[in-house]
């Protein structure tokens, strides 16, 4: 972020996210959703795998930072053809919508 002269507040505004969400991502408390990761790759001209790598490059304690599976998935996604990426994103969005829909129905009852 420093290289691009972007602070947390500006990044949050550009991503239409809260400053606390950005802080949680930076402190490796949470990982941004796929759509946000794609926006970040555009802002910082990098790959998803670059964003998901640990800041220290050392093994992270259990339960912190992205899992090895998440990192591998990001690397495979980065290497995929653009049309494959679009298909994967569409499937993930559909799955997320389907998963969220029962929760919304449950809250109405």
Residue range 67-83, pLDDT digits in tens: 777 777 777 888 888 88
Residue 56 covered by a domain: yes
Residue 2 covered by a domain: no
The DSSP code for 58 is S
Q: For 4-52, what is each residue's pLDDT tens digit?
A: 888 999 999 999 999 999 988 888 888 888 889 899 999 988 888 888 7
Residue 16 covered by a domain: yes
- The domain tally of the chain equals 1
pLDDT at residue 56 is higher than 60: no
Compute CA 91 distance to the chain's CA centroid, rounded to the nearest angstrom: 16
Q: Determine the Cα–Cα distance for residues 48 and 50; give it in Å rounded to an integer.
A: 5
Region for 58 from its dihedrals, namely left if φ exceeds 0, alpha if ψ lies in -120 to 50, beta otherwise: beta
Residue 3 covered by a domain: no
- Domain of 45 in residue numbering reads as 8-108
Q: Could you give the count of Cα atoms lying within 13 Å of 45 in the half-sphere of its Cβ?
A: 2
Higher pLDDT, 84 or 72: 84
Is the separation of the CB atoms in 21 and 12 below 8 Å?
yes
Region for 63 from its dihedrals, namely left if φ exceeds 0, alpha if ψ lies in -120 to 50, beta otherwise: left
Residue 93 covered by a domain: yes
Cα–Cα distances (Å) from 46 to 61, 74, 91, 102, in that order, read 25, 12, 23, 35
Residue 38 covered by a domain: yes
Residue 1 covered by a domain: no
Residue 61, token pair as written in the block: 């304690």
Residue 73 covered by a domain: yes
Note the pTM of the prediction, 2 decimals: 0.51
């Amino acid at each position: 972020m420093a290289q691009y002269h972007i602070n947390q507040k500006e990044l949050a505004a550009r991503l239409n996210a809260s400053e606390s969400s950005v802080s949680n991502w930076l402190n490796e408390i949470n990982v941004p959703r796929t759509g946000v990761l794609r926006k970040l790759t555009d802002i910082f001209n990098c790959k998803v795998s670059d964003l998901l790598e640990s800041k220290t490059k050392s093994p992270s304690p259990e339960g912190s930072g992205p899992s090895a599976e998440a990192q591998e998935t990001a690397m495979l996604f980065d290497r995929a053809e653009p049309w494959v990426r679009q298909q994967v994103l569409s499937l993930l969005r559909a799955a997320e919508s389907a998963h969220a829909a029962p929760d919304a129905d449950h809250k109405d009852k």
